[in-house]
Structure formats: C-alpha cells, structure tokens
Amino acid sequence: MIDDVEHNALTAMVHAGVRRAAAQLSQLTKEQIALSTPTVIVIPHQKVVELLPLSGAMPLVAVREQFSGRFSGSALLLFPETKSLGIVKAAVGDRTRIEEIEELEPEAQTEIGNILLNGCLSVLANNLRQTLNISAPELLRGTGQVLLGADHRHMDTPVLFVQVNFSVHRYCIEGYITLIMDLPALQELKICLRAMIDSTDSAHTTAESL
C-alpha cells in the first residue's frame, strides 16, 4: 500500500512526534520516558487486535482521539488497567494520598493521553502541511477486542496500524500509542506523503544546482 520511502518518512514523523510529546510528559512527571521504534504496517483489522497484549483479551484503559481532515482515523493511548493508578502517580507524585490519586485518575489519564496523542498528530499534520481536526479526548475501558474490534463486519478490512511502545521504568508502566486509518484514509495519506517527499527531493536538487 505504501512503498519503502513513504514508510520510512511516516515512521520518522511518528517517531519525532512521539519523542516531542514524551519530552513534555517527562517534564510533567519528572521521569524518563522510554520509547520504542514505531511499527508501521498495513494489516487486516483483526490482526491489530491480535497484536495487543494477550491477543486483545487484557483489560485496558484507553484515551482515544478521533482526527479528520484530508485523512482521518483514530489515535489511542492504551495501557493495562492494572497500571492505571501508576500512570496517575507518575503525573501527580508519590506523596499524593491514594484517595486523592483515585479522585484525580480520570482527569490525569485523559490529560496524559492528550499530551501524547496531540504531540504525535500535530507533527504529522505540520510535516504534511495538512490541517487535522482533533476531537476532545475520551477515556475508555475494556479489552483490546472491545476497544478496537467492536465492529466485526469490517475485521478483514486493511488498515494502517502505527504503534509505539512507551514505558516509565520507576513505576513499571508500559503502554502503547496507536494510530489506525482505514483504506480510503490511507490512500489520502499516501498522496500527502508522496507530495512531501517530492517537494523535499526537489528542494535538494535545486540546492545542489546552485
């Protein structure tokens, strides 16, 4: 669906976006955020669920933002439900009482998701010179099968799956940042990627000729 040059360009943009967002989150939590190299693949929707922990059977907390524009899709921050308080503790500090942490849990989780997802999407939009309308973040709970695979009518449909793993070592927290786009959105994204690549190549050629 996308060639190697387009794949590499998209991977680099996602990595840059998540790194910038992780730096913001690191300032908030005063903790080092470790990131994996992004996975960028086109697979059937069903396979997306299978790539999640326990093949999508693990209970998860998710922050989801929908984005739309020239291309559209969903961006999700996913982490195990068993670690949901840990990510809040990383944000508000160890000295906060457990009762206060539980009270702050939904707001803190939503804000953390908003930081990471917006950081990634804004870099993608800026590099591709596109405007993306991003919905307000929503906090969801359920298994990966429920969060990503509710509509079984479209489970064989190819989707673009982008995943970055992140971890906060001191709190033993691991999570996943995921972007999902359907085939029409992927075709539009491909056009935008090719335009950016051709523009960059043209600029390099012009500079070399001077």
Which backbone phi and psi does 37 adopt, to 5 degrees?
Answer: -70, 135
Looking at residue 150, the DSSP 8-state letter turns out to be: -
Residue with tokens 């020239």: 70
Cα gap 121→113, rounded to integer Å? 12
pLDDT, tens only, 148-201? 865 555 667 788 888 888 887 776 677 888 889 988 999 999 999 999 999 877
DSSP per-residue letters across 51-76: TSGGGGTSEEEEEEEEEESSS-EEEE
Q: What is the pLDDT of residues 106-129, one digit of tens each?
A: 888 898 889 889 988 999 999 999
Asked if residues 84 and 77 have their Cβ atoms less than 8 Å apart, the reply is no
Domains in the chain: ranges and CATH: 4-203 (3.40.1550.10)
**Higher-scoring residue by pLDDT: 112, 86:** 112
